[in-house]
Structure formats: structure tokens, C-alpha cells
Chains A and B, each alone.
Chain A
Amino acid sequence: MSSDEFHRAALEHLDALYNFAMYLTRNPPEADDLVQETYLRAFRFSHRFQPGTHLRAWLFQILRNTFLTFYRLRERESALAEDGVPTWDAPMFHDAPEESSGAVEAHTDLERALRRLPEEFRTVLLLAEVEGMALEDVARILACPVGTVKSRIFRAKERLRGLLRDYSKE
């Protein structure tokens, strides 16, 4: 794949990456920065991309790793469960972007509930359900086994349902 072809193919996923970045950061300027940094890295390391593998998954992986590097150097809380996510009462990370002044407001209960999820749960739902990625690709992006992905999806939905139930009672 030539450099031009690579750039063109990578840019086809811009909207999907931006959408993912918005749900991770909840803040348009931060999402801009995150996506821009993702593409800079992707272009710089394009030689490492193996043709034939999923470019889309590779870009999402870069974006998430960039997010974790630059946006998630937060205080880690509590012990982790077996599958690497926190227990119900102990969110894995502080979700600081939500507290920032430029944060986008949630319009629906579903958005509110999704925001309440820890990043690992939110990410797995966004990738598997919203973006419709294969579990293998999600596993590659999250750098964990497929079984862990399935477990996270299950637990994420469970928690999402619980939150939606709470909202319906309000």
C-alpha cells in the first residue's frame, strides 16, 4: 500500500474515530486533539501497519492507547476484578473529562448511563455494539483475550441496565 493510499484509507475512518473520541473525552476540543494525535501517530508509524489486517481496528487501537497515555493518567482506584475491571461500587478510573468545563451534555438516559460506565465498559460497548466490530478486533484493540471482551460486554450491559432502571424511576 502506497503512502497516499494509506492516508486515503485512514481518513475514511475519521468520523468513526471522532465519534469514539467524543464518547471517551466528552469534550470536542479534547476529541479534536485526540483524533489529530491519533492520525499523526498513524502516519508516522504507517510502516508498522501490516497490510491485510484491519486498518480500522489498528486506528482505534492507536486512539485508545493515545487516550490512555494522555487523558487517563488519573488516579487509579480500588482493586480490580478478575477480568480487569472494577467492581460495581468502585469505578476503575476517575472520569475527569466529564468534569471539564467544555463537556458536552448527555441528551438521553442512555447517554447518561453510558457516561457513568467506567472506561473499559464504555469502550467495549462502543466498539462492539456501536461500531459493530468483531470481538477479535475489539480484543486486539483492548489487548485482552476475546473471553475477557465477552465478559466485559456482559457486565457492561448489566450495569447499563441497572443505571437505566434507576433513571426510569426518577
Chain B
Amino acid sequence: MSTHPPESDDALGTRLRTELRRYTAPAYLRGSIGESADPPRARPAWLAPTLAAAATALVLVLVSIPFLPRILPADPTERLVRSVVAEHTRALMWGARRPEVVPTSLPWLTQESGIALRKFSPGDDRLVFVGVEPVYLEGRRGVALYYRDGDGHLVTYTALPAPGLPLPESRRVQIEKWRPALMSDSGFSAWVWRQGDLGCFIVADMVSEADVERFKDYFVRLRLSTDPVPAN
């Protein structure tokens, strides 16, 4: 109970100033506020212009990339192998654009690709036929047949018009009666050979020694069973 009777405004004011408890801020609060008051370390003066210049350069590079000349192999065979491998990779990732099942589509395929398949492999105990589609690589119309082996490797057989396609002698491999060149690009192996005026390619991601032996077997199977010729 209060000992001070309620009285004048001044007296009440005095009581408020003298009788009320005064709370003081705890030390931890003072510490935490002091920490938050510390100004962040100033950035070096050169940092902002350097970052701005770097960002501008990066944007310019990104914008100009599509206009830069592509570095292509000078050798026409290597260039074709690169294109065939790129097509194989596309099929590997996205599947054939319009896989067709021969023989029903043979006339259409011949018309589109300019290449007739006198015979082709519909698959066997090692290679399952996936599909076939016309392709357009390095300014040439061609045909690509897709197979998949028991281990899931996609094997692409491509035939393109390539009269006089040079084959690097050092890479040629004797397989039975044939001597295709074994080339590689982007981690893929490719058999390359000439068949009349056509250049033929078999691509798969088979690069180890054991895989290459199997790849030889696929070459033999497809070489024997498939016979592309120019449609004209």
C-alpha cells in the first residue's frame, strides 16, 4: 500500500521520477547491439569496376559465341565422323526424331535420304533393331539405322554420299576380308569405310579393349547384312 496520498500534478510527477524502478539494459543486449552497429568492411575501390568489366566481357563473349567460326577438323573424314558421332549422341539422348520400321517405310526413306537399302539387318541375337531415319549431315542426305545390344549400347549405322572418302591408313584394321578405319571422337568409337560412292559409319560408345572386340563383331554383322546404295 502506498504511503503517499494522491496529490498535486507536481507531486505526482516527482513520485514518477523518484519512485518508479529504472530498468537498465542487460550487458548482452548492449553487446549484441554494438555488434550489429559495426559497419561492414568496406569493399576495395577497384572491386566494383572490375566486376562490372568482367560481367560486361562475359556478356559480350556469350553474345558473340553463336557468331564465332566453329573449329572444324580439316580432314573431311574426321569432320564426317564428328557429325555422325553428334547425330549418334543426339539419338542416344533424345531418341530418333522419326524412327521408322522398314520395310513399310522403305520407299519414303529412300525418297527422303537418297539412299536405298538393298538389304539391311532387321536385328539378330546380339543387336536389336530400334529404327531407321533419314539424316542430313555436312550438307549430305543420308540414312541412319539404330540398334541396341544386350548391354544397352546404342549402335548407329550411318550411310552418306562420300565419293572418294579418304581413310587414314594408320587407323585401318583388318577384320576378316575388310579393312575399315577405327576412329574415335568425343569418347565414341566409329568404324569408317567406303562402300561404292557411300561413306559408311558404325558408331557406339565402345572404347575399351574388350568392347572394341565386340565392336568388331558388330561391324561384321552389319557389314554383311546391310547394303546401302545411292538411290539415283
Which residues of A line the B interface, CB within 8 A?
Answer: 3-4, 7, 10-11, 14-15, 17-19, 22-23, 28, 31-32, 35-36, 39-40, 43, 107-111, 114, 125, 129-130, 132, 154, 157, 160-162, 164-165, 167-168, 170
- Any A CB within 8 A of the CB of B39: yes
- Any A CB within 8 A of the CB of B12: yes
A14 touches B2 (CB 8 A): no
Q: Which of A32, A35, A39, A111 contacts B37 (CB 8 A)?
A: A39
* Docked CA distance A132–B1 (Å): 26
A168 touches B6 (CB 8 A): yes
- Chain A residues with Cβ under 8 A from B37's Cβ? 7, 10-11, 39, 43
Q: A110 and B2 in contact (CB under 8 A), knowing A18-B25, A19-B23, A130-B17? A: yes
8 smallest A-B Cβ distances: which pairs?
A: A18-B25, A109-B2, A7-B37, A161-B6, A22-B23, A129-B16, A129-B13, A164-B6
- Chain B residues with Cβ under 8 A from A161's Cβ? 6-7, 12
B1 touches A170 (CB 8 A): yes
Q: Which residue of B lies closest to A160 (CB)?
A: B12
Nearest Cβ distance between residue A40 and chain B, in whole angstroms? Answer: 6
Nearest Cβ distance between residue A122 and chain B, in whole angstroms? Answer: 11
Taken residue by residue from 24 to 62, chain B's Cβ proximity to chain A (1 for < 8 Å, 0 otherwise) reads as: 111001101110110100000000000000000000000
- Bin the interface of chain B by size: 20 to 34
Residue among A17, A130, A132, A165 with most chain B CB within 10 A: A130
- Chain A residues with Cβ under 8 A from B13's Cβ? 129, 157
Q: Which residue of B lies closest to A43 (CB)?
A: B37
Which residues of B line the A interface, CB within 8 A?
Answer: 1-2, 4-7, 9, 12-13, 15-17, 19-26, 29-30, 32-34, 36-37, 39
- Chain A residues with Cβ under 8 A from B30's Cβ? 11, 14
Q: Which residue of A lies closest to B38 (CB)?
A: A7
- Chain A residues with Cβ under 8 A from B16's Cβ? 110, 114, 125, 129-130
Q: Which of A11, A31, A168 contacts B1 (CB 8 A)?
A: A168
A130 touches B25 (CB 8 A): no
Q: A132 and B20 in contact (CB under 8 A), knowing A18-B25, A35-B29? A: no
Q: A109 and B1 in contact (CB under 8 A), knowing A19-B24, A130-B20, A168-B6? A: yes
A164 touches B2 (CB 8 A): yes
A14 touches B25 (CB 8 A): yes
- Chain A residues with Cβ under 8 A from B21's Cβ? 107, 111
Q: Which of A110, A132, A165 contacts B15 (CB 8 A)?
A: A110
Q: Which of A14, A110, A129 contacts B33 (CB 8 A)?
A: A14
